Structure 1
Amino acid sequence: MNWYVVYTKPKWEKKVAERLNEIGVVTYCPLVTKENQWSDRKKIVSVPLFNSYIFVQIEEKQRNRIFEVTGAIRYLFWLAKPAIVKDSEIEAIRNWLSVPDVYEVSLEQWKKGDKIVLESGPFVSQSAIIQEVNQNHYILILESMGCVLRVDKKEL
């Protein structure tokens, strides 16, 4: 089964995921914990990592089932087809959210264009290409995830 991205009403991510789970649809709504400050108190809350988006794992022929739930608006499309997310990408998000806030990073004397494999942190086991070596930071390209990572040298 494929993972698809579902666009939800704003602030309905957790409700939609919960209701889809109740009707038997496998969902993933990645959450991060943050501290909200009000005038009279502070509170730690779990908020979705991606505003108005959840992931659903469902068969192609069953895709319309998500519209049985109030709050699910539409699928995210890519090149005129529903966007499919790989299992490895979902697993990478889960791994990234499960690592502690503080982790050890060590860099050797690398130069622009070197290929490396990250040994710790949220992107462990991901290969990267060094795009830039600066006095204060490194810029790494994570090709498999389609993103750029900046690592400050002061954190090392």
Structure 2
Amino acid sequence: MKWYVIRTKPRQEQRALVNLQNQDIATYLPQITVGKVRRGKRVPVTEALFPGYIFAQLDDFAGRFHKIRSTFGVQKLLMFGDKPATIPDALIDELKTLEHDPITQATAEHQSSPQVGDQVEIASGPFAGFIAKIIDLDGDSRCIVLLDWLQKDVQASFSYTEVKKV
């Protein structure tokens, strides 16, 4: 039995996964937990590690090809010419091991982005080198910081790429 790569419709990985499992097809959707900003608060969100792709293990590819293609949530099977894309068992096993490893999950959450109250250093621009405190999160990619400039507290907005934790 080989693992095949299936392309799902946009944001329908879970739907494709459930519908393929209902057809007694062994499937795997690697997921990761990351911190996302929702209503100004950082919350952990579980999402697909490879958005738009899931893996299916089949013993009879030719017999199941049309069933898979017509499954709700599935867009197509990933092909290279007339050959389907396959994944080695060792790679799937490694992904499963990493997915359930608490250290890997904690590292992904920690590296996601700064939190409110964190001390950061401005990395680029006219305020490069200044130390600031994050006071608010402005969407998924920006934060509002409070920095001391000319003996006065000033609020400024920076991209997460422009700041680094101290």
Q: TM-score, normalised by structure 2?
A: 0.56
Q: What is the match of residue 36 of structure 1?
A: 36
Percent identity of the aligned residues? 28
Pairing of 1:128-139 with structure 2 (within 5 A): none
Q: What is the match of residue 87 of structure 1?
A: 89
Q: Is the 8 A contact 2:8 2:54 kept in 1?
A: yes
Runs of 4+ in structure 1 off by over 6 angstroms are none
Q: Is the 8 A contact 2:4 2:57 kept in 1?
A: yes
**What letter matches 2:74 in structure 1?**
A
Deviation at 1:71, TM superposition (A): 1.6
Q: Which has the higher relative contact order, 1 or 2, with Cα contacts under 8 A spaced 6 or more apart?
A: 2
Q: What is the match of residue 15 of structure 1?
A: 15
Pairing of 1:106-117 with structure 2 (within 5 A): none
Deviation at 1:42, TM superposition (A): 3.4
Q: Could you tell me which runs of 5 or more consecutive residues in structure 2 were left unpaired when the two chains were aligned.
A: 105-166
Aligned equivalents of 1:39, 1:49: Cα separation in 2: 24
Deviation at 1:2, TM superposition (A): 1.3
Instruction: State the SS of the aligned residue for 2:102.
Output: coil
Normalized per residue, the structure richer in helix is 2
Q: TM-score, normalised by structure 1?
A: 0.59
Instruction: State the SS of the aligned residue for 1:11.
Output: coil
Aligned equivalents of 2:43, 2:25: Cα separation in 1: 31
Q: What is the match of residue 80 of structure 2?
A: 78
Deviation at 1:79, TM superposition (A): 4.9
What is the count of residue pairs matched by the alignment?
A: 102
Q: 1:28 to 1:80 in 2, by over 3 A?
A: same
Q: Could you tell me which runs of 5 or more consecutive residues in structure 1 were left unpaired when the two chains were aligned.
A: 103-156
| Residue from 70, 91, 113 that aligns with 1:68 | 70
Q: What is the match of residue 120 of structure 1?
A: none
